[in-house]
Amino acid sequence: NAGVMQNPRHLVRRRGQEARLRCSPMKGHSHVYWYRQLPEEGLKFMVYLQKENIIDESGMPKERFSAEFPKEGPSILRIQQVVRGDSAAYFCASSPTEPGQGFAYTFGSGTRLTVV
Amino acid sequence: GNSVTQMEGPVTLSEEAFLTINCTYTATGYPSLFWYVQYPGEGLQLLLKATKADDKGSNKGFEATYRKETTSFHLEKGSVQVSDSAVYFCARTNSGYALNFGKGTSLLVTP
């Protein structure tokens, strides 16, 4: 039973390019969450998605960032016109249902984005 | 806010030493509390959790007790191993899906 799969593991982009980060949830999981870990910081919640729906995007920057979780295929976190400040590790997590109080979900290994 | 504060690292210990990593949380609502561990180059793994006051979470020799009176959830282990070297994150959630993490504490255990 494969865990949460993220790819690529490492991504280098020049300023102004687009970055696409993919997350395939665990089998049977229909809820996906994206987090960002800036250097020397803890993870920060970005967005919560279910299939074809964005449930909560309160942690996602309003400009340049978007996320989707289509009916078929992985969830995608898209960053347009990347800047150096976007350099971070981006983690995806998944759960089979909406986690109730105390539920803890499964994280992927992350994508480390470097903007040069 | 719903924040978590944990002691800064790095923490360096000799093998078989006693470990404590302090974590305190803001007393907002009735959070569930977690410790996650991140080994080099990997994602976060749940280490243990506690959902209400006085609960004790435990796993792999690690323990943490949910203390409402001191708003703390300190991580302890009686005898650390080299393989415990990792970054440890304290976290809380009120909503059930959005976790608020501390900045992490790096632990290095030497032989």
Tens digit of each residue's pLDDT (9 = 90 or more) over A9-58 = 999 999 999 999 999 999 888 899 999 998 878 889 999 999 999 999 99
Residue B44 to residue A43, Cβ atoms within 8 A: yes
Residue B32 to residue A101, Cβ atoms within 8 A: yes
Structural element, H or E, at residue A76: strand A75-79
Chain-centroid distance of CA A34 in Å reads 3
Residue range A96-108, pLDDT digits in tens: 877 665 566 788 9
User: Scanning the structure block, which residue is given the tokens 């191993």?
Assistant: B81
Residue A107 to residue B44, Cβ atoms within 8 A: yes
Q: Does B32 touch chain A (CB under 8 A)?
A: yes
d(CA A85, CA A83): 5
Kindly report the number of other CB atoms within 10 A of residue B53's CB atom.
12
Contact residues for B110 (Cβ-Cβ < 8 A; gap 6+): B12, B13, B14, B15, B82
Residue range B3-51, pLDDT digits in tens: 899 988 899 999 999 999 999 998 788 889 999 999 987 888 899 999 8
